[in-house]
Structure 1
């Protein structure tokens, strides 16, 4: 989430094309991009398949036609989907949430370390990149032994990427959270919505106090600041069964952040995407297995051996469950802003209530956890 992403010299250059793609009539603009990226393709033979991505990717099961979304267009020729070029058109008002320059830098860093698809170009209101072959995971997959060790290892690979020239990275989680807080609506024009805001959502005074409490209590836990994905819900995980690995997609929120936030945020996503069920949040025994697999891979990538002590696992367990609170709070604020600006027919306000409710439900339990002496 930090603005200090340093792209290594080995990272391929990414051209910026002076093209603007109309999100409602995208073919002409997309063809201009394809003419540069795939000059051998005949324009008349280019097929396009359109997807819509919500800002918090696939948070909801239905497709949308309006609102704060990113439009995703798959361009290809023939019947094969192997040479697909994905054209992503930034949605209206997404600049409220996403630092696009930071996203491109993160994309390039991850690509340089073979953790991301190829980024072909950027254009005035979007970017083009490689289509990753594979299947999108579901909540039941990320809980299974067949997948969770691959996910833990891939996250460790992200987290082990070195900062530029020995620079010590810093998280701007609290700065980002403060920005979100400043954008939270004080009221809604819709009377019913406004009534719900005051009756179901914690007051701004309460939210401010909790934000201060989070920063004070989580900052001192000693969680390392590493390169994080920051939005690892299951729909952002692609499994390639032929290659036997998983890859993460969508780097809108990627950047330097607390290691424990990335893991805790992922554990929160075990609750599912459509009908959220926080009883699916992983229990202690599962977490200990996951964290041990992660630490083993992380130390291996950092050339620190592969021996992992029980104390190391316990420390990370406490950090992760504390930072899971920050994840709930972060996305709760996000949902309140969506409730103000998005025209998508979805109860964002209800989703905010859900995240804040889980935050307060979880807080007593995780604050009773203490780092081992």
Structure 2
């Protein structure tokens, strides 16, 4: 049997669902109703709220009392129409599975248009951090830990990448109300028939690379990696896109994020030497977690190198389509259309380079 379902382990703590809606413009009243349930001993008048502006999918509010940020409840309000491309039930399952394996913060509750979870102390990373050998080894090992988690109840996990891509493709807008955006769409973004062709090409070429299907984070950008200097460890946050996917996709997607988000610069994509070090650290940890010994041959590293760089194409394509959908629906102030153009341009630039890579003989 094959599954793309995540199975929450027996005994994982249940997550209460509160019948509360939080307005993303006037969030205090709704957030206070959540805090009343989650932290009944806090006095409403003393609850402070801080809005985080990093995310471009949702709105995030930190609630706390006092000066020290000892106990912060994060309230995440889902972005407009994000239910079209984010499976919220799956996100909660991923959260619970990762929490059971001590890879995630605690999930306190869900509410009508969002969820509340524990704030992880530490610093969210920037592109320059994830290139440093000390940190990238931690990140590689933590990702290997994710990928070694069994959350499929003994069934053979199946990737839902192609299903998700097909769904995104069906949601991609063919025109915009705004004339200027519409002009950019027709002059700078590949046509629908071109996108369809590439989608077929990707599926045919990538699904036969032999990359194992594992539980993936699927959105490992810098801001989703929290580093704690005290413990010398990293944790990943934000599981909206988590699910079964090809191992090489998750890593290729992370390598694409070396370019940053606000000032995207693809010359920062990790060069071969850095990648080989990263991939070796990853494979050593992955084999350890899977009890397959710790010896990693250079051939294994080379095979993963080819798979990862080809799957990086799928990641550009995925976020390119995602950004076009966001350009239509999101209320967040971000140039989604410009971002889509960047991702598709990089896709077409990288395609001949990575198609030319060869597996070791």
Calculate the TM-score normalised by the size of structure 1.
0.93
Distance 1:174 1:193, change over 3 A: same
Match of 1:136 in 2: 124
Match of 2:239 in 1: 251
Match of 1:301 in 2: 289
Q: Is the 8 A contact 2:79 2:331 kept in 1?
A: no
SS state at 2:68 partner = coil
Match of 1:202 in 2: 190
Q: What CA deviation, in whole Å up to 9, does each residue of 1:114-168 have, x standing for no partner?
A: 0000001111111111010001111110000120000000000000001332111
Tell me by how many angstroms 1:232 deviates: 0.4
Distance 1:136 1:345, change over 3 A: closer
Distance 1:164 1:342, change over 3 A: closer
Q: Distance in 1 between matches of 2:207 and 2:330?
A: 32
Q: CA RMSD in A?
A: 1.3
Q: Distance in 1 between matches of 2:23 and 2:316?
A: 34
Q: Is the 8 A contact 1:52 1:70 kept in 2?
A: no
Match of 1:36 in 2: 37
Q: Is the 8 A contact 2:255 2:269 kept in 1?
A: yes
Structure 1 unmatched runs, 5+ = 56-68
Q: Is the 8 A contact 1:8 1:164 kept in 2?
A: no
SS state at 2:61 partner = strand
Match of 2:114 among 126, 129, 150: 126
Match of 2:342 in 1: 354
Question: After the TM superposition, which residues 254-293 of structure 1 pair with which residues of structure 2 at under 5 Å, given as runs?
Answer: 254-293=242-281
Q: Distance in 2 between matches of 1:198 and 1:308?
A: 48
Match of 1:153 in 2: 141
SS state at 1:297 partner = helix
Q: Distance in 2 between matches of 1:342 and 1:121?
A: 24
Q: Is the 8 A contact 2:58 2:77 kept in 1?
A: yes
Distance 1:23 1:328, change over 3 A: same
Match of 2:312 in 1: 324
Q: What CA deviation, in whole Å up to 9, does each residue of 1:328-371 have, x standing for no partner?
A: 01111111112222344433222111111110110111001122
Q: What CA deviation, in whole Å up to 9, does each residue of 1:172-207 have, x standing for no partner?
A: 101101111111111122222222212211111111
Alignment: residue pair count: 359
Calculate the TM-score normalised by the size of structure 2.
0.96
Tell me by how many angstroms 1:53 deviates: 4.8
